[in-house]
Structure 1
């Protein structure tokens, strides 16, 4: 069996301890889904290159739904990447989001749902990129896989080293403020991968429509670990 379906089945039926990724429960009424596709007409009227204006817009979306945390984005075809040349491919722009975003206040702690060790980390400091990024390596029943935490605070990288072990529920990082988080409104990009493709400290978080089939085999639904009912 290929790794992806085997891991997906393992995580879907996993009954061991999965620690929450935030102190905030993602299944409370003040958590809502946020839409960053072309279907959101208000988004098309927002100056996305102005990060302060973008943050105001995100907070307005949350307020309209009486929410304090926003979630969503797995394989969502987004328009927000037009803000940065980083996502413009030579043939086709990258618009499909490969992880789940959790929009919440800057500087709150972020935890690992499962025990693991640091695979790699770096500050991807292009405008619109991940900013400080940490990738953990995990193993369950002989299967190795990876989780990526992007848009972190720079202090999150202090004291890290490759191979550092973390227990389930141990703090990985802090939510980054802009501009140090890649210049985005504060949020966590959380991604689940079966293969690092030889990369360290970075991994595509967005792909083009032409790449969708290939990346669906590598980037599994992060909600297998988050267990957020809104994303089920």
Structure 2
């Protein structure tokens, strides 16, 4: 369990942030309050406790931030799964591990406070990333701290401290940290899609959310 919801019992909504969603053309995505009202309005209308989705999704929402437009080719392929829920929602460790690194990636549209754990699965390292957290949830963290599966790890942060997004958790898995600490690309270009998908497996292998 990553968040306090059971995908086999609780209602959830798969959210589409591709160009196929006509709502996105009419939203001011640079206004985080407007974006938040849209996301949580969708959840309320569906009677859902959480919104989910996004792995390998070709998204249209990154035009809101220069953070994703700095290269010749913009980044648009999402490499994790997002779980959209209220700020303050607890996040639990999915596996035993240790804290690999953490930092506040404080740019508009970035992760904001971020934690990366290192796990051992079948004798091989696996890393998990948690983005868009609260600043207070980083207090007391240190590299090498032991984390047990199922224990409280962190919490979803409010905007603007969470990178200025509607409250949600970005959850991502990596086979290799590529020498990075406290950060890892959560979105890549179309040209780099195949490579990054080989490094970043589908997080639903752990979450097991039906329909994703």
Q: Could you state the TM-score of these two structures normalised by the residue count of structure 1?
A: 0.89
Q: Deviations over 1:13-49 (max 9, x none)?
A: xxxxxxx001111333421100000100011110000
Confirm or deny that 1:197 pairs with 2:178: yes
Count of aligned pairs between the two proteins: 212
**SS at 1:209 equivalent:** coil
Deviation at 1:92, TM superposition (A): 0.5
| Pairing of 1:11-160 with structure 2 (within 5 A) | 20-160=1-141
Q: 1:191-230 counterparts in 2 under 5 A?
A: 191-230=172-211
TM norm structure 2: 0.98
> What secondary structure, in the 3-state scheme, does the structure 1 residue paired with 2:120 have?
strand
1:180 corresponds to 2:161: yes
Contact 2:105 2:111 in 1 (8 A): yes
TM-aligned CA deviation for residue 156 of structure 1 = 1.2
Aligned-residue CA RMSD (Å): 0.9
Alpha-carbon distance between aligned partners in 2 of 1:86 and 1:197, rounded to the nearest angstrom: 20
| Runs ≥4 residues deviating over 4 A | none
Alignment gaps of 5+ in structure 2: none
Specify the alignment match of 1:4 in structure 2: none
Q: Are 1:27 and 1:230, in contact at CA under 8 Å, matched by a contact in 2?
A: no
Identify unmatched segments of 5+ residues in structure 1. Answer: 1-19
